[in-house]
Homo-oligomer: A and B are copies of this chain.
Amino acid sequence: MAAHCPRALARFVRQLHRTRALQCRSPGRAIPCLIRHFSGSVPSQQTSEATTTADTDAVASHPKQIKYTSESYPSLKRDPKYSEISSEHVEFFKGILGGDTAVLDGVTRDAGDDLEGYNSDWMRKYRGHTRLVVKPKSTEEVSKVLEYCNDNMLAVVPQGGNSGLVGGSVPVFDEIVISTRRMNNIRSFDEVSGTLVVDAGCILEVVDNFLAGKNHIFPLDLGAKGSCHIGGNVATNAGGLRLLRYGSLHGNVLGIEAVLPDGTIVDDLSKLRKNNTGYDLKQLFIGGEGTIGLITAVSVVCPQRPKAINVAYFGVESFEKVQQAYIEAKSQLSEILSAFELMDGLSQDYVHQVTGNKRPLEGRHPFYCLVETSGSNTEHDNEKLEHFLESVMGSEIVSDGVLAQDETQVRSLWGWREGISEAIGHFGGTYKYDLSIPLPELYSLVEETRKRLASAGLVGDDDSHPCVGVVGYGHMGDSNLHLNVLVRRYAREVEQALEPWVYEWIKKRNGSISAEHGLGVAKKAYIGYSRSETMIRLMKQIKDLYDPKGIMNPYKYI
């Protein structure tokens, strides 16, 4: 907090002193995992803003209890054009990669549980049947592996930290998993330009910790940072928490080294901020989800690490005013604004109810916002943030608010945003949608969904109604809404009320049915709601160009 504390803000400060740190606790009752779209329990290193899952209902504690994707999606059939993996193939891989550390062989022997971690995703929604995992150590080894697979019609799945949300990084049938986990060197970092070059298998948090020692920051932050690989981040065009400030990977990735299915090494690992010499082909791999090639290394421009982080949390009476507050935040906080998160009143009710934590603000408001600033001067940033709050409170855009006093309170306030997903999971199950919507209409979808379900008689307080409520929250600054429909149990009528209605609603507004999670298995069927037939045709053209035999990550994407 800056030295002076204007009167208008005194209340903010006093209030936060009463705020307790958020601690998620058990809701005290067992809630049956009944529904198809259940979001499951969430490992601590993961965000759980998961996508809607179309055809899985499996949530289990042991991998072997996870339903196979091939059963959840009965329409998917193993394409007979792919070869069955033989002992001869395994011998080849052992020969070029050097034995047991690099090849997990479930073909010629029982690899038992070892394979399960590669077959199943962290959400326990997707499970494949692979019997072979290869772990090349270098780009050249990846090249040899892919060339051999292409020549022998062996389907493959590139796998990084396996922390995706749409089932893109695990096999569906017996595709060979090519894991990047042994390619984990930080190749170079130039402190003057901030240019970092890393192997694809480097873990985001490891890289960010390395950069912290150099006063730099990776321009991407994710809940899954403790396990996700940089290569996977780039392959899925991960968005995350810093996008508002640092922009997308399409702007921050300077170069990519990748291997095409035929073994060609795409040597586009430029360290230059400017290089106007031809088509920017690397962009196709950013968000390509491993369907046209396997990323082996990336170079990224990394900004200076901010010295000051400040957080404010406030209540707003209408979405109209939320938009006004966002405009004011952009105008007044401008270069230091690093997050503007939206949480509706119901979402905060649930966090309060589940965690038992005292609310940061007195009373209840229809909307809450969390604003974070990151800058190079604590005093300046405090002053800007205070001035912003004075201004939006003075003009009655914001009704009430608190400012974090220290790092603990910063974490506590973030808890009211980051704790939503876990809190609402306690009520049963959730239909989750990760959507981009033009800002003016962002919240309308939540309201319309509520009306729609209510008028169908699906929402109520007692067990006779399948729906508990509809919650909206997300990255206001990125126009990214998480629409969550909380249900007591799976009910076909709820799903029929929601789909394809939600997707049609998105289509009418030129929104995106997958803002940041990608397509994978989960969204493959729905791309037509966000992309025209022309665009899908042009995408398929690119897929056919780079992967004419179709060995890269089949059954997914487009």
Binding site for B on A (CB under 8 A): 190-195, 215, 236-237, 239, 243, 247-248, 250-252, 264-268, 270-281, 283-284, 286-288, 292, 303-304, 306-307, 323, 326-327, 330-336, 374-377, 380, 383-384, 436, 438-440, 475, 478-480, 510-519, 523, 527, 530-532, 534-536, 538-539, 541-543, 545, 557-558
Across chains A and B, which 4 residue pairs bring their CB atoms closest together, nearest first? Answer: A251-B251, A283-B283, A334-B376, A275-B512
A126 to B333, CA, bound (A): 47
| A516 in complex: contacting residue of B274, B327, B330, CB < 8 Å | B274
A250 to B237, CA, bound (A): 13
Chain B proximity of A477: nearest CB distance (Å): 8
A327 to B270, CA, bound (A): 21
List residues of chain B with CB within 8 A of the CB of A194.
330
Taking A248-B273, A250-B283 as known contacts, 8 extra A-B pairs with beta carbons closer than 8 A to each other, sorted by chain A number, are: A239-B274, A264-B538, A265-B534, A266-B538, A272-B511, A274-B515, A279-B284, A279-B287
Known: A266-B538, A440-B190. A277 touches B510 (CB 8 A): no
List residues of chain B with CB within 8 A of the CB of A519.
276-278
A selection of 21 A-B contacts at a CB cut-off of 8 Å is A193-B439, A215-B331, A239-B274, A247-B251, A247-B252, A250-B250, A250-B283, A264-B534, A265-B534, A267-B532, A271-B438, A272-B515, A275-B514, A276-B514, A276-B515, A276-B517, A277-B519, A279-B539, A280-B284, A303-B334, A377-B384
- Let me know if A376 and B384 touch, CB within 8 A: yes
Known: A192-B439, A250-B250, A530-B275. A383 touches B384 (CB 8 A): no
| A276 in complex: contacting residue of B280, B518, B543, CB < 8 Å | B518
A462 to B216, CA, bound (A): 50
- Let me know if B270 and A510 touch, CB within 8 A: yes
Number of copies: 2
List residues of chain B with CB within 8 A of the CB of A277.
512-514, 519, 523, 527, 530-531
- Let me know if B239 and A276 touch, CB within 8 A: yes
- Let me know if A192 and B376 touch, CB within 8 A: no
**Nearest-neighbor residue (CB-CB) of A265 within chain B:** B534
A224 to B557, CA, bound (A): 41
List residues of chain B with CB within 8 A of the CB of A192.
323, 326-327, 439-440
| A479 in complex: contacting residue of B272, B283, B307, B334, CB < 8 Å | B272
- Let me know if A335 and B384 touch, CB within 8 A: no
Chain B proximity of A290: nearest CB distance (Å): 12
List residues of chain B with CB within 8 A of the CB of A330.
194, 304
Known: A247-B251, A276-B518, A436-B275. A542 touches B281 (CB 8 A): yes
- Let me know if B252 and A332 touch, CB within 8 A: no
| A272 in complex: contacting residue of B215, B331, B333, B512, CB < 8 Å | B512
A327 to B190, CA, bound (A): 11
- Let me know if A510 and B276 touch, CB within 8 A: no
**Nearest-neighbor residue (CB-CB) of A536 within chain B:** B278
| A273 in complex: contacting residue of B267, B479, B538, CB < 8 Å | B479
**Nearest-neighbor residue (CB-CB) of A281 within chain B:** B538
**Nearest-neighbor residue (CB-CB) of A192 within chain B:** B439
Q: Which of A190, A273, A277, A334 has the most CB of B within 10 A?
A: A277
**Nearest-neighbor residue (CB-CB) of A376 within chain B:** B334
List residues of chain B with CB within 8 A of the CB of A250.
250-251, 280, 283
List residues of chain B with CB within 8 A of the CB of A336.
335
List residues of chain B with CB within 8 A of the CB of A558.
278-279
Known: A266-B535, A280-B237. A274 touches B512 (CB 8 A): yes
- Let me know if A539 and B278 touch, CB within 8 A: yes
Chain B proximity of A92: nearest CB distance (Å): 25
List residues of chain B with CB within 8 A of the CB of A274.
239, 243, 248, 436, 475, 478-480, 512, 515-516
A292 to B419, CA, bound (A): 47
- Let me know if B272 and A438 touch, CB within 8 A: yes
List residues of chain B with CB within 8 A of the CB of A510.
270-272
A306 to B336, CA, bound (A): 12
| A383 in complex: contacting residue of B266, B303, B380, CB < 8 Å | B380
Chain B proximity of A525: nearest CB distance (Å): 12
List residues of chain B with CB within 8 A of the CB of A276.
236-237, 239, 287, 512, 514-519
List residues of chain B with CB within 8 A of the CB of A538.
264, 266, 281
